[in-house]
A and B are shown apart, each in its own frame.
Chain A
């Protein structure tokens, strides 16, 4: 299957787990998650070790450095809220997968995944890339980086900073370089 179709198929599969959602519940839970993160409180769904492993994987997907990455966006806090609510169907698999990840990490480098060096983390993730665990964390990381901050991630507009865009309620033309310079082209 081509990459786009396989990703679409994957999205379709995991999308089914969002069904439990109803928006007020999501907003309430994610608001709690955001507050907990701000106050340094423990995660509400993930255990500390699980959260550390998740965040380390997320930071490999969208690394820190220069522009904000998944860590700066607080993607793990989005995941903590999502896995406790509208993504709850995925929690058992994610939980088993994170435990397996740490076990493999110990086998490879004698420490949980989050404590491996960058080279070992990358090597392990290359092995895991085709697995549902990686795909699940990959999707949560992207959504947690770019979704509205009300869901617990995308702190301080980290996702918009990463993309180089300025969000405003409305805009006026010209919108981009080419319509500002349109000349005889249009």
Chain B
């Protein structure tokens, strides 16, 4: 793809760290608004034809995520423990490459509801947490959700619990799968209200892109048809086509540089050949995800910013939220063939709102799907009473693989300060950066919410006629793909990192926009909101720049 080549020494208007869900949107919007933009992406620039159907390569060899040997991560449940190195696929699951994790995500694209932005006011405080309202509302974000629908590409139709929308979806829902039919059947028999799933996968051709071919490899995989609406296919090509955006793959940023006035002057990075480079910029935008953004700020400490850049509040890296994830499984008499097509076609949002009558805070939704390929199905997803080897094991695999579905539950995570990203004190990655150290233990209410939803999911499976149904035990999570809350948004500079414009409180020309901006977690499926925030941030940053306010 032909693109401009900007000087490293002469400041560009914006350098954006990360080309994923948020970085891709910001690159396209800022370049389209007339600014010069350099995007630095640590992974390679793959094309749709580079993706393939390889469960081992993707899930166990880290083809898209990178290997823990190169990029180690450590994990512990509490700050009192010494964190230990963890192998694939966690504790932080994200992709490296142009398009970031929007390349390998499942593409569930739920909007937040109005209550998600005002839940502290509605529910009250929760001890041991930083539970708070957002400084923006659903109404302010709605036009940007609509931009995501149309410019990124979302399939769907409004459901009974959906928030107000200003425009219909651009393309209809994807064809229903058997898991969707059975989820709907069971839910309706229980008086619930299933609805088609909004997915960032095209059901019809849109914006010059192909529709889904139902190959069955979405979650964790790149889409070889370009039907999954990653920023790799939806935003980056448009950004580059402006002639004002240069995307540099293989560029690993390790420091944001600041001058004597405390303003950002650019970033230091290692290029694909391992040489240190500096890209000068008038303003810096961090969209590296909720783990990498926090690490970069902590690594950018200086005498002026001794606790890390933009960290006068002490909140950089804190309040990590993964969303709750748990599953129920069921087998049915006839083949579902869930190995075909997209992951999810129907969802249930009846339990979205928190309800004091449950006795704990939390809410969420669930969907019908089947997450695993044959390897992980055989290793992880069988009912507890099935033998793990021998003729009966083999027979069960044969009988059940095409007849099993999952109800995946997605729920709130409370912002707990000790759940965090910090710099590991001893382990380094291949570049010499401190390994990402994750401290995480689900709040007690989050675990109760997960169990509550799984119980409802099991009821739905039984009501749908499952011959057998079982749940994955609900235990504290040790893997997260939703990296939220680590540079939270707020009006109070003493308790938040960025303001409602995504501008850091401490550095006027440093902006942060990715999952780290979240104040609360929503109910899972955060990418839609990350991208709506990115479209809005681009508008706000553009207005500031045009008013010479940066």
Interface of A toward B, CB cutoff 8 Å: 2-5, 7-8, 11-23, 26, 60-63, 65, 67, 69, 86, 122, 125, 129, 138-139, 142-143, 146-148, 150-151, 159, 162-165, 169-173, 175-179, 182, 185-186
Contact = CB atoms under 8 A, between A and B. Distances in A.
B106 to A, nearest CB: 17
B306 interface: no
Given A15-B87, A23-B63, A163-B402, A147 B181 contact: no
B340 A171 contact: yes
A5 B175 contact: no
Question: Interface extent on B, as a size class?
Answer: 35 or more
Contact of B402 (A12, A143, A165): A165
B272 interface: no
A163 B397 contact: yes
A147 B375 contact: yes
B543 interface: no
A22 B87 CA distance: 15
Nearest to A86: B61
Q: Which of A5, A150, A178: most chain B CB closer than 10 A?
A: A178
A18 B375 CA distance: 15
A175 to B, nearest CB: 4
Interface in B164-206: 175-178, 180-182, 184-185, 188, 194
Interface in B345-395: 346, 373-375, 378-380, 384, 388-391, 393-394
29 contacts: A5-B473, A11-B379, A11-B380, A15-B88, A16-B85, A19-B62, A19-B87, A20-B69, A23-B63, A143-B60, A147-B56, A150-B54, A163-B397, A163-B398, A164-B335, A165-B337, A169-B215, A171-B215, A171-B341, A175-B214, A175-B338, A177-B336, A178-B182, A179-B178, A182-B181, A185-B185, A186-B180, A186-B184, A186-B346
Contact of B401 (A2, A16, A147, A165): A165
Contacts of B473: 2, 4-5
B175 A173 contact: yes
Contacts of A20: 67, 69
Interface string B318-341: 000000000000001011111111
Interface string B516-535: 00000000000000000000
Contact of B61 (A26, A62, A138, A182): A26
Contacts of B177: 173, 175-176, 179
A139 B379 contact: yes
Contacts of A177: 178, 334-336
B394 A148 contact: no
Contacts of A171: 213-216, 340-341
Interface of B: 53-57, 60-63, 67-69, 85-90, 175-178, 180-182, 184-185, 188, 194, 213-216, 225, 332, 334-341, 346, 373-375, 378-380, 384, 388-391, 393-394, 397-398, 401-402, 472-473, 475
Given A5-B473, A151-B56, A176-B338, A18 B88 contact: yes
A182 B472 CA distance: 28
B341 A173 contact: yes
Contact of A170 (B87, B180, B213, B375): B213
B214 to A, nearest CB: 5
Nearest to B188: A185
A178 B68 contact: no
Contacts of B185: 178, 185-186
Contacts of B88: 15-16, 18-19
Contact of A146 (B180, B341, B375): B375
Contact of A19 (B69, B182, B339): B69
B125 to A, nearest CB: 33
Q: Which of A7, A122, A165: most chain B CB closer than 10 A?
A: A165
Contacts of A164: 335, 398, 401-402
Contacts of B216: 171
Contacts of A11: 379-380
B348 to A, nearest CB: 13
B378 A185 contact: no
Nearest to A67: B398
Q: Which of B56, B63, B175, B194: most chain A CB closer than 10 A?
A: B56
Contacts of B338: 175-176
B204 to A, nearest CB: 14
B389 A61 contact: yes
A15 B65 CA distance: 14
Nearest 8 Cβ contacts at the A-B interface: A16-B87, A176-B178, A170-B213, A177-B334, A178-B178, A19-B69, A146-B374, A15-B87
B336 A163 contact: no
B87 A185 contact: no
A176 B375 contact: no
B346 to A, nearest CB: 7
Contact of B181 (A86, A151, A179): A179
A13 B213 CA distance: 36
B176 A182 contact: yes
Contacts of B213: 169-171
A185 B53 contact: no
Nearest to A58: B389
B346 A176 contact: no
Given A19-B87, A142-B379, A147-B56, A176 B176 contact: no
B499 to A, nearest CB: 39
Nearest to B183: A186
B336 to A, nearest CB: 4
A60 to B, nearest CB: 6
Given A138-B388, A163-B402, A178 B181 contact: yes
Contacts of B86: 12
Contacts of B346: 186
A163 B213 CA distance: 22
Nearest to B334: A177
A70 B166 CA distance: 55
A7 to B, nearest CB: 6
